[in-house]
A = this chain, B = another copy of it.
Amino acid sequence: MSLEKYSSPYSLPEAIDLSHHLSILSQSRLESPLKGLQRFFGKPGMLSLAGGLPSTEYFPFEALKADVQPYDSFAVKPESAAQGGPLSWIWNLFGSKKDTTIPITVPKYPEHEGDVNLAVALQYGLSKGLPQLQAIINEFSSKVYRPAYANFTTILHAGNTDGWMKAVTTLCNPGEGVLTSEWTYPSALATMHPFGIRAVPVGMDSEGMSSESLSQVLSGWDEVARGMPRPHVMYIVPVGQNPTGATMGAARKKAIYEICVKYDVIIVEDDPYYFLQEGPYVHPSLRSSRVKHTQLTDEEYIANLAPSFLRFDYQGRVVRLDTFSKTIAPGSRLGWFTCNALFAERLERQAETSTQAPCGFGQSLITQLLLNWKFSGYLRWLKGLGVQYTDRRDYFIDCLVEKFHLELAPAAQFGGSMRYTAYDLTTPYSEKAKKKPLFSFVPPSSGMFIWLQLHLEDHPQFKALGQETLEMQLWVALAEGGVLFGPGNMFSADRSGDEASKPGHFRISFSNAEFADLKKAVDIFAKVLYKFYNKSH
């Protein structure tokens, strides 16, 4: 693969025709009946009595305002780096946040042309979004994801759940399959299911989807045995994968991209956790040797992030979904597609008959925030946010270190990635304990989740009750003890049966609970787990 493929400006060759990927639903979307008449619309001085627009005089909102945090609210140096134990730095964390806020305003009729205009934001006619926001997201995709071709398109959606629904109905036909990781986000499957579109699970390792497994699935595809044509769409969460927390590096992405070129597969990259990249977890006993954390320049920060699939997309076969849900707030219900112009046009048609434009209140406030922060300020915010999640990840695993005997070793089934295996703390290093690991996990380098693999095969009732029943018994015991984890089996992409052969898992989110509650949750987990296994002692 030559580097020239990835050098911008490189326009997508017209020879690459991706129109055969458009679904029946998408192809049969009506053109606007006004299409032939558009030359008359928007002409200066034209009196339009054609649309069904209310007068902006009747919008009761004269101005929106907000108090927002400055972009440097959060430190860029992990608190845990300088400290020892998990408890000592909790209060620093809360104390480090700045209390000052900045006022922003969106007036209905701003004085300066080009300013965000509430009357425009709250009116019909903007399914592409506010012009200022269009410019921001286009610049952002261009500078941060650096797509391999220059003539990409960005277009707003109402959050990645909406974006994925629109991608499914644009690309997939009933009876088709979509390639997913074997453990995946259940809502993504629930979106496909009513349309008769099934998940085709692909094996994973510590970097997420395995390129070898993908190649095997596609090369050996037997349409008759599988009951469906070879899949031409992939759904993938490549950073901080949900639920496993796995993050995919550049080499794996290139390998997967090339397989998708070979088998003509469109990659839908759902990447909500992209800016929650946390770096490797370092055991507290080794933390003093951790490289000193200095503030990166914008260029260094971007270069250090795992690249988007867009970076390698010399054929325009990536549809990237971005969202403000994890970087601003989930209630934003705002995000955007970055993709080729052909798909973007169909996605825009879909918006016209469903969501129309995303909410004008949210659009205008987020636009004003980003204009206030500017590009570099928003990057600074994202850097600080990443460090917050790093602290949370470190703190949660540090709590596990306190309650269990964790051994670090390369795990063969996880591509040689370093994996912690947990044993009973009360009998460390004994042969007996080593024979009975309690759970294991690969510390995530991104995102919100620890994907804890249970070692229930050592439970005395394993043969009698089976994997799934034991997993649920433990889950219920934990819930009764006062802590909720995500039950692993709900994330299985394989709904075809044979669940029992899969190892039990819990998805544990360290993203939201207060630090004291994270610790409390680990205490309860240890207590319940020891009791659960003690049956076997």
Contacts and interface: CB of A to CB of B under 8 A. Distances in A.
Contacts of A326: 54
A25 B511 contact: no
Interface string A43-62: 00111111111111111111
A25 B483 CA distance: 36
A356 B187 CA distance: 11
A190 B123 contact: no
A268 interface: no
Given A53-B511, A123-B331, A356 B47 contact: no
B333 A360 contact: yes
A181 to B, nearest CB: 16
B57 A97 contact: yes
Nearest to A448: B52
Interface residues of A, number: 112
A159 interface: yes
Contacts of A89: none
A45 B161 CA distance: 30
Number of copies: 2
A388 B57 CA distance: 10
Contacts of A123: 329-331
A476 B158 CA distance: 36
Nearest to A491: B33
Given A63-B67, A333-B358, A365-B64, A512 B242 contact: no
A49 B521 contact: yes
A449 interface: yes
Contact of A47 (B26, B28, B126, B513): B513
A63 B62 contact: no
Interface in A96-140: 97, 101, 121-124, 126
A353 B161 contact: yes
A448 B161 CA distance: 35
A530 interface: no
Interface string A181-192: 000001101110
Contacts of A46: 479, 482-484
B29 A354 contact: no
Nearest to A160: B356
Nearest to A55: B512
B60 A68 contact: yes
B193 A28 contact: yes
Minimum-distance CB pairs A-B, first 5: A331-B360, A359-B359, A122-B331, A122-B329, A33-B490
14 contacts: A24-B194, A25-B194, A28-B196, A33-B490, A46-B479, A50-B509, A52-B449, A52-B511, A53-B509, A57-B97, A63-B66, A64-B65, A161-B352, A161-B354
